[in-house]
Amino acid sequence: MKVFQIGTAGGIGQRLAALLSARGDEVTGMHRAASQAQTVIAAGAMPLAGDLVADDLGTLAGWMRGHDAVVFSAGAHGTGRDKTIAIDGEGLVKAVAAATQAGVLVGASTLSRGSPAR
């Protein structure tokens, strides 16, 4: 299965990418900072630099196209209410809309505990 994973460089994202890769899935791991590419590779995924907040819906959908599933494992991780809403709330909504536009199943999502966006 081809999986597009948002938030691959985080703690949950790395573990999930490693599990998916170990079972034979091909994972495209979206990460924000260029410095995170090696972390994504070490987890077994192909890195793709992107920004869930800044990139537009069409760009995200284009990256997702051709995958079988999208997994959202991004999170603001206590970086403040504004970022939590932008990533854990609006970012998740944008990711689902992009996956829908791309015709891809959204397989799972994770949000940080205690998120004020929930």
Q: What is the pLDDT of residues 39-57, one digit of tens each?
A: 999 999 999 999 988 999 9
CATH 3.40.50.720 fits 2-109, yes or no: yes
CA separation for the pair 21, 47 (Å, rounded): 13
**Which pTM does this prediction carry?**
0.85
Looking at residue 110, its pLDDT comes to: 52
* 111 or 63, higher pLDDT: 63
Q: How confident is the model at residue 112 (pLDDT cuts 50, 70, 90)?
A: very low
**Three-state DSSP state, 43:** coil
Q: Domain coordinates of the chain in residue numbers?
A: 2-109
Is residue 117 over pLDDT 50?
A: no
